[in-house]
A = this chain, B = another copy of it.
């Protein structure tokens, strides 16, 4: 397959077209939320706000910035582990996320922030847009190295759309709680990406096998991504929870789960190597599974030990997945999952959905308090009489809806991306920056870095 990878007109036109569409749609639809509008000074007084601090900005902005770092540095650098695909990992992630957050502001806005003809955006919309793009970054991990930036933009366009529909079904129709997105972000994103990569199966990918691994320094770059994801995950899972105790609790639970996950990942990584050596791939990825798997339940009364147990299990499941399941998926099911997102986001996402359903089903007044229970699960209006087990059932339904949306959507989008017109590389040129980037030549003689003696014009 000798496709034309020269994107000179396709990429610029796609970018400009999408961006012009964004400008027009923003012009028609997007305005500031009341708390970001200059009229706020007049409105806060009748609203009995005693202080400027009551502006939503101060509740959410620090979490927003942490989430922002996770999307751009976290996901971007996590994928730089490939020896010759660092530019594309960071750069294409940057591109798709920058487009995705704009489109997500619109899509999620129409569903959740539409008032009198306008989408009113505030800091919570920014966080949710980042979340939505997070699911695209997850899917990007499956197809990393095998798609062109044009394909990524198209995938982003469709995936953000499907994400928003799925999120609307879960949060607004099924009344599911999913603050950290185990289902909406991770399960959906992972199985969507896996379906796409299944459709885009490349039979001769072994031809670029030598570039599909790390070199020493690229693994260290990837650890920058891992650590920023790991450190800021408490902000991710707490960013859009209810003010006060829910945000507080979500951060604590995530902190605990992630800590436990590191130890079991290390344990399994060593135990599964014949000489007991650790594998960077596991440390870079499986240590994060604990954050994925408490996404739904983090804001609930999961208890710190509950979080530890979730992290404990996920470190094991995820590492086992890398060692045994990924090779199986590739050889038998023809699912070429570059970053192993099935192990980091797929299985832990489903576990997270189940943990959330069980935790919700077990909620009771003793643990939450009367008001606390109503507040935690929005048991007001038509939900006043919902039992905990009913909430749990709807939570469980959310998992299946997310999976179904991901599979159907993935088939559709995979089919579109399979058209041979998007500038994708041939199998032997995958995982190679030089296809889409101007790459510097290596210094001819790497050993000739000037030392003192070679500095010209010696001091007088």
Contacts and interface: CB of A to CB of B under 8 A. Distances in A.
A458 interface: yes
A251 B8 contact: no
- Interface size class of chain A, counting residues whose CB lies under 8 Å from the partner chain: 35 or more
B278 A219 contact: no
A31 to B, nearest CB: 7
Contacts of A36: 245, 248-249, 252
A245 B275 contact: no
Interface in A281-324: 283, 287, 301, 303-305, 308-309, 312
A258 interface: yes
A372 interface: yes
A111 interface: no
A400 interface: no
A232 interface: yes
Nearest to A369: B39
A416 interface: no
A270 interface: yes
Nearest to A259: B98
A378 interface: no
B459 A6 contact: yes
A123 B251 contact: yes
Nearest to A43: B369
Nearest to A300: B38
A91 interface: yes
Given A16-B263, A267-B12, A53 B59 contact: yes
**This chain's copy number in the assembly:** 3
Contact of A276 (B11, B57, B232, B370): B11
Interface string A241-264: 001111111011001101111111
A173 interface: no
Interface string A37-70: 1111110100000111111111101111110110
A84 interface: yes
Given A248-B35, A440-B215, A73 B227 contact: yes
SS class, residues of chain A in contact with chain B: helix
A132 interface: no
A397 interface: no
A30 interface: yes
Contact of A94 (B90, B247, B283): B283
A126 interface: yes
Contacts of A228: 69, 73
Interface string A209-233: 0100111110111011001101110
A58 B245 CA distance: 10
A8 B271 contact: yes
A126 B252 contact: yes
A98 B308 CA distance: 12
A298 B235 CA distance: 26
A5 interface: yes
Contacts of A450: 84, 432, 434
A94 B287 contact: yes
B41 A369 contact: yes
Nearest to A433: B216
Contacts of A309: 23
B436 A278 contact: yes
A312 B40 contact: no
A41 B371 CA distance: 7
A42 B262 contact: no
Interface string A56-99: 11110111111011001100110010011011001100110011
Given A2-B457, A123-B251, A26 B308 contact: yes
A38 B301 contact: yes
Q: Which 8 A-B pairs have the closest CB atoms?
A: A8-B276, A38-B372, A98-B262, A15-B267, A52-B243, A40-B245, A26-B305, A27-B305
26 contacts: A2-B458, A2-B459, A4-B460, A6-B459, A35-B245, A37-B301, A38-B372, A44-B244, A53-B54, A55-B244, A62-B65, A68-B231, A68-B234, A73-B227, A83-B440, A84-B449, A90-B227, A91-B283, A98-B262, A98-B287, A126-B251, A149-B266, A280-B437, A426-B457, A428-B457, A434-B451
Given A9-B271, A55-B248, 6 more contacts: A6-B276, A23-B260, A36-B248, A98-B258, A123-B252, A215-B440
